[in-house]
Structure 1
Amino acid sequence: MTTIKPLLFLVGVFALPLTAQTCLTSVPETTPTSQFTINTDGTVTDNLTGIMWMRCSIGQSWDTNNQTCTGGVEQLTWQQALKSASQYQYAGFNDWQLPNVKELSTIVDRQCVDAAINQTLFPATLAQNYWTSTSGVGSASQAWAVAFYSGKTNLRSKTSDIHLRLMRYAK
Structure 2
Amino acid sequence: MKKISKQGFVCAITLLSTITATITFAGNSNRYKTQSGGTVLDTKMNLIWKRCSEGQKWNGKTCQGNTKMMRWYAATAYAKNHKFAGSSNWRLPTIKELNTLIYCSNGKKLKYKQDGFNGKNVEGGYGCSSSIHGKFQKPTIDIKIFPNTSSYSFWSSSPNSDFSSSMFRLNFVNGSDGRNAHNNNFYVRLVRSKE
TM-score of the superposed pair, with normalisation by structure 1? 0.80
Q: 1:87 aligns with which of 81, 88, 103?
A: 81
1:143 aligns with 2:167: yes
Q: 2:43 aligns with which of 37, 42, 47?
A: 47
What are the residue-to-residue correspondences of 1:92-131 with 2, within 5 Å?
92-111=86-105, 112-131=136-155
> Structure 1 vs Structure 2: percent identity of aligned residues?
26
Q: CA deviation at 1:138?
A: 1.9
Q: CA deviation at 1:132?
A: 0.1
Q: CA deviation at 1:31?
A: 7.3
Q: 1:132 aligns with which of 153, 156, 174?
A: 156
Aligned length: 146
Task: Indicate the SS of the match to 2:165.
Answer: strand
Cα distance in 2, alignment partners of residues 30 and 159 from structure 1: 37
* Partner AA of 2:63 in structure 1: C
Cα distance in 2, alignment partners of residues 103 and 165 from structure 1: 11
Deviation track 1:62-85 (CA, whole Å, cap 9, x = no partner) reads: 011xx1100011000000011101
CA contact (8 A) 1:113 1:151 kept: no
Q: CA deviation at 1:40?
A: 1.1
Aligned to 2:31: 35
Deviation track 1:109-161 (CA, whole Å, cap 9, x = no partner) reads: 12344111000100000010000001111211111000011111011111001
CA contact (8 A) 1:30 1:109 kept: no
What are the residue-to-residue correspondences of 1:17-32 with 2, within 5 Å?
27=22, 28-29=24-25, 32=28
Specify every segment of 5 or more residues in structure 2 that has no aligned partner in the other structure, as ranges: 1-17, 106-135
Specify every segment of 5 or more residues in structure 1 that has no aligned partner in the other structure, as ranges: 1-23
CA contact (8 A) 1:130 1:146 kept: yes
Cα distance in 2, alignment partners of residues 38 and 98 from structure 1: 20
* Partner AA of 1:104 in structure 2: L
Q: 2:189 aligns with which of 142, 165, 168?
A: 165
Aligned-CA RMSD value? 1.8
Aligned to 1:72: 66
Task: Indicate the SS of the match to 1:140.
Answer: coil
CA contact (8 A) 1:30 1:108 kept: no
Mean CA deviation greater in 29-38 or 40-49 = 29-38
Task: Indicate the SS of the match to 1:32.
Answer: helix
Aligned to 1:19: none
Q: Higher strand proportion, which one?
A: 1
* Partner AA of 2:191 in structure 1: M
